[in-house]
Structures are given as structure tokens and as C-alpha cells.
Amino acid sequence: MSPDEMLLERFEKQMSGSDEPDQSEPRVASTQGAAFGAAGAEQRLGSIAPAPSAPETVPPVRTIVVDRAPLPVTPPEQRDAVRAAHSSGLERLRLEDVSIGYGTKKAVKSVSLSIHQGEVLALIGPSGCGKTTLLRTLNRLTELTPSASRAGRVLLDGEDIHGMPDTRLRSRVAMVFQQPNPFPMSIFDNVAFALREQSRKRPRRRELEPQVIEALKRAGLYEEVGDDLDRPALRLSGGQQQRLCIARAIAPRPEVLLMDEPCSALDPISTATIEKLIGELRRDLAVVVVTHNLAQAQRVADKVAFMYLGDRVEYGSTSQVFDEPRATRTRDYVGGAFG
């Protein structure tokens, strides 16, 4: 049955008040009859007054309520002044022609860098360029991949990290991962876990409490959780969990803090809190951050290393890399030509 025939049949049902079609009347089968029937239906429908349309409703205005005032972005001149006031100190890490491969594929190719205390180094570049692989090499996490191979040297305070016990190295070069990963235990025990691992004897709670509280304060979390340190860590918000992981990482007093996209899974308010925390931690640590967020790199970093397809293309101060890049690939990347 054509659409016109269906329309005509429906109209005739409505006019007759019957729910069942009249089987005695033959259906219109020809195209001409269908067209005539449709025209008649239109004439009869036109004589019926249209139903009054519903009044147009105006959608409600959506109101965004925040529990704190928005944080303004620090102007570049002010950021540069702060960086100059806290100039970098002694060299903590040195990379000498470091190459990392997975099977036959080279993920990092002959990278040399210097990382100093009191500065934040941001590793930037498109996905798959070797940023995270290089970061994980700094505390030997790449060794956990069976197919990984390494060449070159990484020196921590002049000592080759591959000659250190891995537990000692990771207490001095701590790491915070992309996704918050608190342990399924209390807030207190999450931070105390790192301290207990460094002790020959299992210290009691009251012996660890001052160090746990100090780490939580340095991570900017103590004011929010200090009244209930026995609360399960998994009940914290995402931003609080990430700061708890930072507190756990810095509790043993490392010299270097590695951060693999620490804000990528957080909301803007938590991101601003973490960025502020990075600026405070740099006073006592050398911080290395991997980020895809170029604006974040400009906000938090003192030095920037741009990587592309495993190569370190450019390395310099934040203002130089973003404002006056030397390499064409760097200029294209920070200008948004690819990424």
C-alpha cells in the first residue's frame, strides 16, 4: 500500500469512528485513484480547524556554581620573574646518548639532557614520540618490559643508575603516573607504605605520623583530610587521589620527581591545584613532567624538550622553545601544524 493510500484509509477511519476497515469497499489500486483519494483527503482535512499549538517554552538558563573563585592565569612576565628568583641549582640527572628500543624498533634515539634541582623540565611532543619511554628510563621502569634494550648512560648525582639497587634508585627518583593509583588502604597507610619500605624495622604509627603529615602538607592535601587519616583512600575524589599519590612519592624525600601526564584525568580545578603544587615542589626537587598540554608546559616548566619520532629535536628554556624555536619541526608543533 502506498503512503497516499495509507493516509486516505487512516482519515476515513477517523471520520467514520470505526477501528476496523470496511472490507466491502475495494481498495484503490491504481496510481490515478490513489492521487484522487489523496487530493480529497487534503480538501476534507483542510476544512477542519488546526489544533492550537502549544505555547513555545523558553529553555531555562543554566547556572554554573563553583565553590571557589576561578584562578587567573599568571602572566608570562610574572612567571619568568618567579623562575628567575628560583634559578636552577646543582645537576641531579644527566642523560648521555640514551637510546631505548623495543625489539627492532627504536623508541628513543641518542638523547642527551641535563636536569637540575629547582627546575621543572617538560617533555613535549606528539603521541608515540618517546616521551613516556624516556621518562620511565630515568628510574629503570623500562627494564620491566622483556623486549626493551638500552644504550647510553643515565647519571644521578654522577653515579650510573644502572649500578644502583632498583629500590634505592626509586626512593631517590620517584614517579607519579597518569591515572591516580592509591592503594586499597587508608590515607595514612598509603603514605606510610613508602616510608616503611625504606626502613629495616617496621616502624610504629606514632613514629611515622610526623613524616606522613609533612608529606600530606607538602602535597596540599592535609587540610582536606587531616581530620580523618584512617578514611579509605579510594573514597577520595580524583584530584585528591592524585595528590595522595604525590604525597606518597615525596614522603621518602627523593631528589627527582617524575610525572607522567599527572593532570590528564583531572578536572580544571584539580589541574590548577596540581600545577600550583608542581611550582612549590620545584624548590626542593628536580621535576620532570610529560604533558600533551602545551599551555600547561608554558605555565609550569622552566625548560622544555621537544621530541619527535624518538629524537630530541630541541631543548631550551620555555620562552625560547615556544617564542623563538630554532627547529622548523618545533615551530610547526608549537604553532599547531601537527600534534
Per-residue pLDDT of the chain (339 residues; tens, 9 = 90+): 666 666 667 666 665 554 444 444 444 444 444 444 444 544 444 445 555 555 555 554 444 444 555 545 455 455 444 444 445 688 999 999 999 999 999 999 999 999 999 999 999 999 999 999 999 999 999 999 999 999 999 999 999 999 999 889 999 999 999 999 999 999 999 999 988 887 777 788 999 999 999 999 999 999 999 999 999 999 999 999 999 999 999 999 999 999 999 998 888 988 999 999 999 998 889 999 999 999 999 999 999 999 999 999 999 999 999 999 999 999 999 998 887
pLDDT given at position 203: 83
Helices and strands, counts by H and E, the chain: 13, 10
What gap in Å lies between CA 283 and CA 89, rounded to an integer? 10
101 and 36 in a common domain: no
DSSP string, 174-209: EEE-SS----SSBHHHHHHHHHHHT-SS---HHHHH
The predicted structure's pLDDT at residue 337? 87
How far is it, in rounded angstroms, from Cα 135 to Cα 121?
11
Q: Are residues 302 and 157 in the same domain?
A: yes
Q: Which amino acid is at 167?
A: T
- Residue 264 and residue 155 share a domain: yes
**Burial of 284 (C-beta count, 10 Å sphere; 0-12/13-18/19+):** middle
Residue 79 forms part of a structural domain: no
pLDDT given at position 38: 47
pLDDT score for 197: 81
Length of the chain: 339
CB 155 within 8 A of CB 118: no
Rounded Cα distance between 172 and 250, Å, is 9
In this structure, the answer to whether residues 37 and 107 fall within a common structural domain is: no
- The domain in which residue 10 lies consists of 3-46
- C-alpha 91/C-alpha 88 separation (Å) is 8
Count how many domains the chain has.
2
Here the cell at position 80 is: 619568568
Instruction: Verify that 223 and 303 share a domain, yes or no.
Output: yes
Rounded distance, CA 135 to CA 322, Å?
21
Domain assignment present for 212: yes
Gap between the Cα atoms of 119 and 89, Å rounded: 8
- List the alpha helices (DSSP H) in 165-290: 166-172, 187-197, 205-218, 222-225, 238-250, 268-281
Q: Which three cell numbers stand for residue 69?
A: 573563585
Are residues 309 and 192 part of one domain?
yes
281 and 225, same domain (yes or no): yes
- Domain-embedded: residue 222: yes
Strands 256-260 and 173-176: parallel
Same domain, 240 and 310: yes
Q: What is the DSSP letter of 108?
A: E
* Same domain assignment for residues 38 and 154: no
> Which residue carries 621518562 as its cell?
135
> Is residue 208 domain-shared with residue 264, that is, in the same domain?
yes
pLDDT of residue 13: 64
In three-state secondary structure terms, 100 is strand
For residues 135 and 260, give the distance between their C-alpha atoms in angstroms, rounded to a whole number: 8
Phi-psi region of 194 (alpha: psi -120 to 50; beta: other; left: phi over 0): alpha
Mark whether 20 and 104 lie in a shared domain. no
Report the distance separating Cα 125 and Cα 132, nearest Å.
10
Q: Is the pTM of this model over 0.75?
A: no
Give the Cα separation of 180 and 270 in Å (integer). Answer: 12
